[in-house]
Structure 1
């Protein structure tokens, strides 16, 4: 007889596994756009006081004992049972290694049977692939994920930026969620390199139609930076620590931090300061309680033919949504009313409804519904205030509002560039002032444009203006900066991005390169052309260049858009004077007004050159 000797860790692992002593903790993941909890990540722990309490020690012991897959399956089952037992709302993110994903216990229907037993819909589960083991069978992984996606599961990849393998996973697996490694998140507010790395990740996410989740948010400054960058979701100690009884609503400090949101860039509707939000769309439908019977729900629908959905609440916390047609269709089948009429309505409700804060903007709502599963288009969304149920909004009303806003925006758009014209520019400045936000107003003008337009014709002149419009939009941060076209060759940018000065100089240089590309060989060789000046005299004309006058506007420094426009116009005149001096090798200039915007004429301060 062979005797197997076990070390202390192996023996402790055997005790933990045999006794069912694993327990999960849950950490919330919030959606910045919706200002609500998207779901929870399940994290496993060994028993308190055990040497295997920490997950790294637990899984290290399992690897040494050759029981890694067995431990993963046990963790998954414990997490699902605890999630269902706590009746948590939203999605559940479960960590799965690539090897476990291909194991027969995952593919043989056991997970589906367990979800059915617990009453958890597969579309609430996000399989979070971790990169702690090398993928040797990518085609097999892709086939497995196709299998799970076909059953409603979603996919996430963990720790983007930690290694090259998960970049390949992203490109080949096309996950719905991508988690940014905490290294790039911690300290991002003070580290420009990290900021630009994450910005690059965000660009990739937009192309791949994925939502980014910033992990490891521990400082309020990083939370604000991540939010203002437009990252979809966040997770970390600043929001909430993992707990076996996690928070069900966002903590007050998190709501307060989200509340200090920058002014939206959406076109106006309804006048200054009246940007439509989820609150303007809500209908105060009386919800049903979580433990109300299905028969009660059917009675509500039968009593009100216009009622398409019913929200479900636990106390004041929304936990589900019931669709009229789905519910009635189920109960139209034989014996369904007798079998399920007295049972709780949570049996047939959507446990992961779209829940949004009342202050979520129309553009945020539209983006979420566009990226969400199709049934949200029919069910609409639940509107909350500080986590408490307020009412329900419909996607139809959202589409009507967006259409009205687009018509209003088109009415005031510049016909050549389709950028917002004077009215939207003025309205946005007034909203910024009303919100007490600090910003930079930049007036952009093309030097030497009239002789160029007169000499080469309006068509080539329009090409220059359209090229500038494209360059301004590319240079500005689309998530923070407002771009407008005053008319002719004059543009206006309201910067909220912190690196606005670098962006201005970048625009000057990129415009010079664009003009150079439009020139003939002769004009390019001589750096200009012969043409009539304003006095009708033939002479050498320099090429079009760019002058930008920028003025900082702090909270309370101006009362209206007129003051801001006057200050920016005066700064632009100073920039044109600088341009004539020929300080920049690319031509053009940037003049930055250093005094307060509301204090009369600008000081003759020189704009700084960026090396």
Structure 2
């Protein structure tokens, strides 16, 4: 124990600690958000590993001294390498309450190193119990007031950090790697993380998925819409970390994915950051403040100036902020010849040219307010291309919303015919196998005429919700053709079971809306189309399903025609091996015979 304490004193006295930095990717903009600093003891020392280092410090009573030393070493290395983006610094709750942390030393160090406080994220770890929550809240209010942001680590590892989330309202929340590793193959983990995502949206926090090690998990996290990710698949912690994403990560980000959200149904045509960029000539890092002022004075329309070195964006200078500072007495004389990095934002919003408008909007909505005025820098493969403005982004989103409203069904807000057709065509182009299911309500018109259109609308809306619940949100596309007709493009392997679950759910929903007498009779007496009083059976579902194997269909027209034919067979409740009936509905699965697809194409050509 004495040897351990002696070694620890030597490490602290000789400043032998060094950090490694692990990149954190922002999925929304396909770029590095920042780096987490992870401390190491000297090579060859028994205290090289962080777990051994901190355990020894705790036993020797040097925990706070070690944390302060780690913080300073990380900040100096981060500044020394001029790493872009944010720096995530680990801190225990007890350290936040230490007077040395709040006495201004950190602020002085940041000023010395030229690091803006808004680039620092204080990452609270749960390795010690919080006994003074009001004190922690007050301390965080102090740090936030100076520009720092807050993150909590390892969400899901214990109940304490759930309480921390609800009471501290951090800007970032890190998901414990247990829930991330294997998420692509584990439905339980997927739904746990989905629940965390719902909470994050309510709390206006960005989730960071830790421990991404497999490409399948990377793709799953990306497609779920999780904001950020970290792990060995993206990059290992390094003393000198990469400033750009590795080619394998770039390729994984660029992989074709078939979006299932109504807004993104035409993802192939969705505008990206490249559509918004303006090719503003940047200023170099060593440009003087006087040069920047001259650029602004020469061009009244210029609101921001990007700062770029060797093609890589380093910062952004806001026109109004710059001119306001130089309007004060003697500022031009004092700072005119100094480097422009003195007044630039060192953590601008940098996005890849392929980032979608949706991703940009989400990023800006959760970012500090000054980004709305400054806009964002657009890059291609890490190289500066231009600048985009929030005004142009909002105009594009408004136009997209108007366009989307034209294609969405007004009753259910589900995608209509155009998005359905586009999605099927994208599935065919991608060569993906899928099942097309045409869903129709039997005996709906007499029900609607008898009980009124409001009750009829309720049935249609209820069916829309039931279909969305039955579908796998990660894989299956749900559309509303119109009236009581719906269309589902299934990619989930258990699609047939989901269809039967839908049939049962719809029958139960109808039962809940009808009187016991009507349910007992299995129908009701009402006028038919000829004006005669007749018995009408209760509404049920007919589902016609068609398996679309790669290369079998050429267009959405062929798929729709085949699904429509299958739906008609389901309505007939054909007594064959391919048709099954159940109280409350029927399902017909069409298995095509050789030559039938070509015959259908001949019919379509004749019609067209």
Normalising by the residue count of structure 2, what TM-score does the alignment of the two structures yield? 0.91
**Per-residue deviation, residues 88-132 of structure 1 (Å, max 9, x unmatched):** 111111111111111112222222222222221111111111111
Aligned to 2:335: 340
Aligned to 1:307: 302
Aligned to 1:7: 2
**Is the Cα–Cα contact under 8 Å of residues 265 and 422 in structure 2 kept in the other structure?**
no
Mapped partners of 1:597, 1:167: distance in 2: 58
Q: Using a 3 Å threshold, how does the CA distance of structure 1 residues 40 and 564 change in structure 2: closer, same or farther? A: same
Mapped partners of 2:550, 2:274: distance in 1: 27
The alignment yields a C-alpha RMSD, in angstroms, of: 2.9
Mapped partners of 1:137, 1:596: distance in 2: 72
Q: Give the 5 Å matches for 1:451-466.
A: 451-466=446-461
2:57 to 47, 56, 62: 62
Mapped partners of 2:297, 2:265: distance in 1: 37
Displacement of 1:255:
0.4
Displacement of 1:71:
0.6
**Is the Cα–Cα contact under 8 Å of residues 579 and 587 in structure 1 kept in the other structure?**
no
Three-state SS of the structure 1 residue aligned to 2:597 is: coil
Mapped partners of 1:306, 1:83: distance in 2: 35
**Is the Cα–Cα contact under 8 Å of residues 415 and 480 in structure 2 kept in the other structure?**
yes
**Is the Cα–Cα contact under 8 Å of residues 272 and 431 in structure 1 kept in the other structure?**
no
**Is the Cα–Cα contact under 8 Å of residues 272 and 427 in structure 1 kept in the other structure?**
no
Mapped partners of 2:549, 2:285: distance in 1: 49
Aligned to 1:155: 150
Mapped partners of 2:583, 2:180: distance in 1: 37
Mean Cα deviation higher: 407-416 or 331-340: 407-416
Mean Cα deviation higher: 233-242 or 344-353: 344-353
**Is the Cα–Cα contact under 8 Å of residues 259 and 267 in structure 2 kept in the other structure?**
no
Q: Give the 5 Å matches for 1:321-400.
A: 321-400=316-395
Aligned to 2:464: 469
Matched, 1:587 2:584: yes
Q: Using a 3 Å threshold, how does the CA distance of structure 1 residues 165 and 270 change in structure 2: closer, same or farther? A: closer
Matched, 1:89 2:84: yes
Three-state SS of the structure 2 residue aligned to 1:600 is: helix
**Per-residue deviation, residues 474-506 of structure 1 (Å, max 9, x unmatched):** 555666654332111012233456765565444
Aligned to 1:225: 220
Q: Using a 3 Å threshold, how does the CA distance of structure 1 residues 235 and 97 change in structure 2: closer, same or farther? A: same
Gaps in structure 1 of 5+ consecutive residues: 1-5, 603-611
Mapped partners of 1:542, 1:377: distance in 2: 58
Mean Cα deviation higher: 130-139 or 251-260: 130-139
Aligned to 2:197: 202
Q: Using a 3 Å threshold, how does the CA distance of structure 1 residues 594 and 353 change in structure 2: closer, same or farther? A: farther
Aligned to 2:544: 549
**Is the Cα–Cα contact under 8 Å of residues 267 and 405 in structure 1 kept in the other structure?**
no
Mapped partners of 2:598, 2:535: distance in 1: 34
Mean Cα deviation higher: 307-316 or 467-476: 467-476
2:208 to 208, 213, 217: 213
Aligned to 1:605: none
Q: Using a 3 Å threshold, how does the CA distance of structure 1 residues 216 and 485 change in structure 2: closer, same or farther? A: same
Q: Using a 3 Å threshold, how does the CA distance of structure 1 residues 174 and 480 change in structure 2: closer, same or farther? A: farther
Mean Cα deviation higher: 413-422 or 72-81: 413-422
Displacement of 1:270:
13
**Is the Cα–Cα contact under 8 Å of residues 97 and 135 in structure 2 kept in the other structure?**
yes
Q: Give the 5 Å matches for 1:115-264.
A: 115-264=110-259
**Is the Cα–Cα contact under 8 Å of residues 506 and 584 in structure 2 kept in the other structure?**
no
Q: Using a 3 Å threshold, how does the CA distance of structure 1 residues 29 and 272 change in structure 2: closer, same or farther? A: closer
Mapped partners of 1:541, 1:186: distance in 2: 54
Gaps in structure 2 of 5+ consecutive residues: 600-608
Aligned to 1:17: 12
Displacement of 1:554:
5.0
Displacement of 1:191:
2.2
Mapped partners of 1:594, 1:20: distance in 2: 73
Aligned to 2:487: 492
**Is the Cα–Cα contact under 8 Å of residues 184 and 197 in structure 1 kept in the other structure?**
yes
Q: Using a 3 Å threshold, how does the CA distance of structure 1 residues 270 and 543 change in structure 2: closer, same or farther? A: closer
Three-state SS of the structure 2 residue aligned to 1:443 is: strand
**Is the Cα–Cα contact under 8 Å of residues 157 and 178 in structure 1 kept in the other structure?**
yes
Mean Cα deviation higher: 406-415 or 92-101: 406-415
Displacement of 1:577:
4.7
| Count of aligned residue pairs for this structure pair | 598
Q: Using a 3 Å threshold, how does the CA distance of structure 1 residues 271 and 164 change in structure 2: closer, same or farther? A: closer
1:428 to 398, 423, 442: 423
**Is the Cα–Cα contact under 8 Å of residues 570 and 601 in structure 1 kept in the other structure?**
no
Three-state SS of the structure 1 residue aligned to 2:302 is: coil
Mean Cα deviation higher: 218-227 or 542-551: 542-551
Q: Using a 3 Å threshold, how does the CA distance of structure 1 residues 415 and 189 change in structure 2: closer, same or farther? A: closer
Mapped partners of 2:43, 2:316: distance in 1: 38
